[in-house]
Amino acid sequence: MTTAAIPYTVEPRPDTGLNNVKLGIWLFLASEVMLFGALFASYILLRVGAPPGTWPEGATILNVPLATLNTAVLISSSVTMVMAWASCMKRDLGKFRLYMGLTVLCGVGFLIIKAIEYGAKFQHHLLPSTNTFLAIYFTLTGLHALHVIGGMAVNAWFWGPGSKMWHTAHQQFTNRVETAGLFWHFVDLVWIFLFPILYLL
């Protein structure tokens, strides 16, 4: 044995029945729930506290068709992500590359559509400083977009240089893809709530 700095990265810990990677990502996601939870709470408080009749309906300011398209794009990327993991399980490197590549491309597509939306708002001088609704809209969708960028960076790494582990430590690689997937699905999940709350209500 040379070094084994972090124990239980592949095999499950006897007491938890989980490897540390799985427990670690879920604890991180729990903290993310609190981060977004605080902002959701702010949204509710700001909206309920606004003088009657002053809170704009999202659809009158925002582009619902583009956001609907973006919802479909993100849901599709969640499916390709989980298919990438399934390809790891079946040891099919070609399919893994295909599905992981599609996942990253969907991420790119989501950000392009989001950028078009932001651009149209800026063009009409609809800025975070314009009103409270736009302030919370840009805060929530901006934070979400940062998460998309972060997830894409990790996914792109596993698609490219990170996939060297495919042959040397396949099980560990599969676990890492699953972990990256858990984060990616969480980002999808957050959008599933952001979409109706900001655009439709």
Q: Is 180 in the site for other proteins (CB under 8 A)?
A: no
Contact 68, 192 (CB under 8 A): no
The neighbour count for residue 59, using CB atoms within 10 Å, is 13
Number of H helices, E strands in the chain: 7, 0
Given 41, 112, 127, 153, the residue binding other proteins (CB under 8 A): 41
Closest CA to 173 of 105, 87, 114: 87
Given 5, 6, 30, 60, the residue binding other proteins (CB under 8 A): 30
The neighbour count for residue 67, using CB atoms within 10 Å, is 23
Q: Is 93 in the site for other proteins (CB under 8 A)?
A: no
Contact 191, 74 (CB under 8 A): yes
Q: Which amino acid is at 17?
A: G
Within 48-87, the residues that bind other proteins by CB under 8 A are: 48, 59, 64, 68, 71-72, 75-76, 78-79, 81-83, 86
Q: What end-to-end distance do the CA atoms of the chain give, in Å?
A: 59
- To other proteins, the closest distance from the beta carbon of 58 in angstroms equals 9
From 106-114, 115-123, 135-143, 179-187, give the range in contact with other proteins by CB under 8 A: 179-187
Which residues contact other proteins (rule: CB under 8 A)?
A: 16-18, 22-23, 26-27, 30, 33-34, 37-38, 40-41, 44-45, 48, 59, 64, 68, 71-72, 75-76, 78-79, 81-83, 86, 89-90, 181-182, 185-186, 188-189, 192-193, 195-197, 200-201
